[in-house]
Structure 1
Amino acid sequence: MSLHSAPSAGQILIVDRNRTYCEKLIHRFNEKGFAIRRCVSDSQASDIYRTTNLDLVIFAADLPEMEGFRLLKRYRQEATTPILMLDDTYNHHDCMNCFLFGADDYITRQQPLDEIVWRAAAVLRRSAQIPTKENKTQLVVDELVLDRKYQTVFYDGEEVSVTPIQFKLLWTLVFQQHQVLSKDFLYRQVLARDFQKYDRSLDMHLSRVRKKLVGVGMAAERLQTAHGKGYCFS
């Protein structure tokens, strides 16, 4: 798998309370075309996992729910989604237990961010060769429902007609809710090309998606433009 192939890189959930570190890690993953969503607790992770087709989950070892590795044990019993354990510093005993209880790799915050991205890519490459019965194709946020299999969008029960590109743009923004996604990332992820300074294609698609959703009752400010930075779904 090429890390420069944005459309197929994968969707990753990071469960970690360390905001500063996660912002750096998410930025590096985004640069390589990965779609990243972050939450800070097991309950939030469970809600996302039930409604999202995740390719990989990264759990912080210092989560309260990780005591006795119970969170890792439960997720491994319930699902085959690859899991990376993220520790603050290397601990031989914890590393061995992570593998014992089902983690696919053990990483630390001391490792270079690029190495973590490559390790995630390697795990995803291996997992792609293993058949799975899991088939979560929906994103659900309040009244908004996106179905990736059928490329459909519903808001408060009413279907919203969108083009394939508009669907991909909305899916990417909703999956990474509350994160400002740069135009560079979105052009690679959605349009499969590099961003050019005077190219307004993405602005046009976003404007049309916002107009359609506002037309069925969604608040316009949920699709935000961060001037000079990118876009965000809140």
Structure 2
Amino acid sequence: MHSSNDQAILIIDDDHELSQMLQAYLQGMGYTVSVAQDGKAGLQAATTEHFDLILLDVMMPEMDGFDVLKHLRVTHTTPVLMLTARGDDYDRILGLELGADDYLPKPFNHRELAARIKAIFRRLALTQHTQTQQDLQVNGILLSSARQQVEVNGTPLTLTGTEFAILQLMMTQPGQLVSKQEISQRALGKKLMAFDRSIDMHVSNLRKKMAAVASDDKIKTIRGSGYLLRTAS
């Protein structure tokens, strides 16, 4: 298997030239990089081999990026960075709703891609670093850092890595406002960008998953500021 500093990335994109360019660029940064040229092959690779991150293009023949992500999220929480057409807000929102960790509009700058990849790996390192901490328990939610598991009222929830990191951060400060800036820096590992809706989408997904097993809304939105985890229903 891969050593801890030898992170494996899978690129799923039907643009042959771009994929080869990205592969060479990311390998130059020390990552192990595999390429799948279509959605079906990509899903097969993503579910049978180990990857630390998947770069997933939206527009592909046969099986598009959204279908790949839908199928992948049934069994795997591997971080996914979606590559979307510039200016298509709908694509980005749908990608985040389906459990993508972040998105980058095409065409993009290679340095921006590298920064996003590093941010995702930083976030993974942050959650793994806190694994030594004891379990957190607030208002019927039990979060185990060591096992990377969450239960609400005794029912296990399947969360993406980003959702887990956001919930973990809020559970360390129950009943207190956690600003979007703090969530972005500490849970996502990157600075908050203007007009970035991704935190709202991740929190909305988290809410939906909790609402499926609990009758009370455990997260309160503080308009324009951030979120607060309620300490009692």
The normalised TM-score by structure 1 is 0.49
Q: Which has the higher contact order (CA 8 A, sep 6+)?
A: 1
